[in-house]
Structures are given as C-alpha cells and as structure tokens.
Amino acid sequence: MKFYARFAYYLVGFTIGIFFVAMMWSQKGVSCNYFPNSRVLNDIRKKPFHFSAEADSIFKQGWITKNDVKLILTEGTVDFGKSNMAVPGGKLYVIEGQTSGRQEVLIEVVNGSEKATLTKVSKR
C-alpha cells in the first residue's frame, strides 16, 4: 500500500476519533485546571459564597459590586506569597483583579471545606 493511501486512512481514523472524544468531553462538562491559580479560583467558585459584614459595608459604598467580585473570581490572579495561610474557617487567599470600571482591587477570601467567605475588599 502506498504512503498516500496509508496517510488517508490515518487521517480518516484520526478525524473520527477526535469527533467522538469531543462529543464525550462536551457532555460531561470536563474542564482542565492544571495550574494552581485556576485550581484555587475554580474551587472557590464551586462552593457556596458568603460575604462578611465588612465586605457588605464596602458594597454599600458603590465602587465595587458583587458582579465585580464574580468577575475577579473568574479572571483574577491569586497572590500565593500572601495566600494559603491557615485561618479559622479555612485557608486565606488574596486575589488581585479589576472591577468592570478598571479599578485595581485586592480581595481576601477564606476558603473552607464547605463554603467560601469574602472577608475583605480593598483598592490597590
């Protein structure tokens, strides 16, 4: 069998295989979070999210909203130098991000085993 015929058979089989793998992954909701930043943010987003009294008072000021916090938990960057410290209720994570108005913000989240709590919000 010539090289071109073998290559054509290979491409047909490879295409069919990719099609089936793509179908299986799309149905299961599989995501690939290999990097530490993505893993921490995904873990925080999966849990019930609560706000401390201090965080609620910051929201009343109006320069940041709860939607901005959701955006930061999706696109933010975890500062591991200041994070992963044991505190009562779980581990403390400091996350840097931007509000929808491009304001640089630091948020502190305590990630417990059952829930995540936003404890502090500050401008950078």
Mean pLDDT along residues 101-108: 93
Q: Which amino acid, residue 41? A: L
- For the segment 48-57, what is each residue's pLDDT rounded down to a tens digit? 999 999 999 9
Sign of the alpha-carbon torsion through 122, 36, 116, 89 = negative
Q: Reply yes or no on whether the pLDDT at 13 is more than 90.
A: yes
Which are the contacts of 121, defined by CB distance < 8 A and separation ≥ 6? 54, 55, 58, 64, 69, 105, 106, 107, 108
Q: Reply yes or no on whether the pLDDT at 84 is more than 90.
A: no
